[in-house]
Chains A and B, each alone.
Chain A
Amino acid sequence: MSSALKVLIYSSSTCPYCYVVKDYLISKGITFEEIDLDEQPKKRKEMEEISGQKNIPVILINNEAVCGWRKEEIDKLLEKYGAI
Chain B
Amino acid sequence: MEQYDLIIIGAGPAGITAGIYASRKKLKTLLITKEFLGQVGLTSRIENYPGFPKINGKDLLKNFYNHLTQNEIEIKNYEEVVKIKELDNKFKVKTEDGEFESLAIIFATGAVPKKLAIKNEEKFLGRGLSYCLTCDAKAFEGKKVAVIGGGNAGAQSSVELLKFASEIYLLEYLENLTCDEILKEEIINQSKIKIITGIEVLSFEGEKELKKIVFKERKTGEIKELEVEGCFVEIGTKPNTELMKGLVNLNEKGEIIVNPKTMATSKKGIFAAGDVCDFPYKQIVLATGEGALAALSSYSYLKNLKK
B41: A residues at CB distance < 8 A: 16, 20
A52: B residues at CB distance < 8 A: 126
Q: Which among A14, A15, A51, A56 has the greatest number of chain B C-beta atoms within 10 A? A: A14
Measured CB to CB, the closest approach of chain B to A9, in angstroms, equals 13
Q: Is the CB of A16 within 8 A of B57?
A: yes
Select which of B77, B134, B138 is within 8 A of A16 by beta carbon: B134
CA distance A67 to B61 in the complex (A): 24
Q: Is the CB of B128 within 8 A of A38?
A: no
Select which of B57, B61, B78, B130 is within 8 A of A71 by beta carbon: B78
Q: Is A59 an interface residue (CB 8 A)?
A: no
Measured CB to CB, the closest approach of chain B to A51, in angstroms, equals 8
Select which of B42, B128, B136 is within 8 A of A56 by beta carbon: B136
Specify the chain B residue showing the minimal Cβ separation from A67. Answer: B126
CA distance A56 to B36 in the complex (A): 18
Q: Is B188 an interface residue (CB 8 A)?
A: no
Q: Is the CB of B77 within 8 A of A12?
A: no
Q: Is the CB of B135 within 8 A of A55?
A: yes
Q: How many A-B pairs fall under 8 Å by CB?
A: 65
Majority SS of interface residues in chain A?
Answer: loop
B: interface residue count bin: 20 to 34
Q: Is B37 an interface residue (CB 8 A)?
A: yes
| Contact digits for A16-34, partner B, Cβ 8 Å, 1 yes 0 no | 1111100010010000000
CA distance A51 to B125 in the complex (A): 12
CA distance A17 to B131 in the complex (A): 11
B81: A residues at CB distance < 8 A: none
Q: Is A54 an interface residue (CB 8 A)?
A: yes
Measured CB to CB, the closest approach of chain A to B163, in angstroms, equals 11
Q: Is the CB of B125 within 8 A of A55?
A: yes
Select which of A17, A27, A44, A53 is within 8 A of B135 by beta carbon: A17
B223: A residues at CB distance < 8 A: none
Q: Is the CB of B138 within 8 A of A55?
A: no
- CB-CB under 8 A for A54 and B135, given A16-B41, A20-B35: no
- CB-CB under 8 A for A18 and B78, given A53-B127, A55-B126, A69-B35: no
Q: Is A37 an interface residue (CB 8 A)?
A: yes
A51: B residues at CB distance < 8 A: 126
Q: Is the CB of A54 within 8 A of B134?
A: no
Select which of A14, A27, A67 is within 8 A of B78 by beta carbon: A27
Select which of A15, A27, A53 is within 8 A of B134 by beta carbon: A15
A20: B residues at CB distance < 8 A: 35-37, 41
Residues of A with Cβ closer than 8 Å to B?
12, 14-20, 24, 27, 37-38, 41, 44, 51-57, 67, 69, 71
A-B contact pairs, 29 of them (CB 8 A): A12-B135, A14-B44, A14-B58, A14-B138, A15-B136, A16-B37, A16-B41, A16-B42, A16-B58, A16-B135, A17-B37, A17-B132, A18-B135, A19-B58, A20-B37, A24-B78, A27-B78, A37-B138, A38-B138, A51-B126, A52-B126, A53-B126, A54-B127, A55-B125, A55-B126, A55-B135, A55-B136, A56-B139, A69-B35
- Return the 5 tightest CB-CB contacts between A and B, nearest first: A53-B126, A15-B135, A55-B126, A16-B41, A54-B139
